[in-house]
Homo-oligomer: A and B are copies of this chain.
Amino acid sequence: MTLSRSLHHFPLDPASRQVRLALGEKRLLFSEVSERYWEPKTSLEEMNPSGLTPILVELQSAQRLVICESRAILEHLEEQYPQPDLLGPDPATRAEARRLVQWFERKFDNEVNAYILYEKMDKRLLGLGAPDMANLRQGRENLRAHLAYLESLLVNRDWLAGPRLSQADFAAAAHISVIDYFGDVPWREFSAAKTWYMKIKSRPCFRPLLADRWPGLAPSGHYDNLDF
């Protein structure tokens, strides 16, 4: 029986968002601690030697369980709080959900976040100057390829990994919602992806993300609009 639970996170970090969505979907209550991971020598490194978010802290009677990194947290949640199941009932479905989670953590992160989020968010937080336009163009071009891939999956599927909502949808929504915060998602060109995003944006677990704001980084006008 967990008595209290807190999540150390950064509101615009895709990995943190994915964990918040999974916690919300499983109706697990948690308090939030917002962390400035880009500032040196924070207490963050004492909890997670990598200095990165997210970190989940669970207190159970006298025990304090500190779980670092999204992979460890997400698998922990499936093992300890299996309902609703966000991976699927059989090996093929579970493999497909985890394949797509890694797609976003590895491929999307390299091909989209490294351009768009680096230029629009990291540079701002780190005080590294104005965005480089060539990099932004490259990131937007790469984003189109990723959206086209999602579109191709959604032609035959209700959700990204199959007939049921899964971690794959939360991985995709966590990453794409941060790009959408900065107004860079060309929704009009990708109608199946847009319909999917409207569905996931309407879920109760998504509501806290729509309220996120960061000083100096204003969201796009349609960011928290359910009918965008």
Contact = CB atoms under 8 A, between A and B. Distances in A.
Interface of A: 48-50, 52, 65-73, 75-76, 79-80, 91-92, 94-95, 98-99, 101-103, 105-107, 149
Q: Mostly helix, strand, loop or mixed at chain A's interface? A: helix
Contacts of A105: 106
A91 B65 contact: yes
A7 B69 CA distance: 27
Nearest to A78: B75
B50 A103 contact: yes
A75 to B, nearest CB: 6
A203 to B, nearest CB: 24
List the number of copies, as a whole number.
2
A49 B91 CA distance: 19
Given A69-B98, A72-B102, A76-B98, 9 more contacts: A48-B99, A52-B106, A66-B95, A67-B95, A68-B99, A69-B102, A70-B102, A79-B91, A105-B106
Nearest to A55: B99
Given A71-B101, A101-B71, A50 B95 contact: no
Given A71-B102, A101-B71, A76 B95 contact: yes
Contact of A91 (B52, B80, B98): B80
A49 B104 CA distance: 12
A223 to B, nearest CB: 27
B91 A76 contact: yes
A200 B61 CA distance: 37
Given A49-B149, A79-B94, A71 B69 contact: no
A50 B106 contact: yes
A37 to B, nearest CB: 13
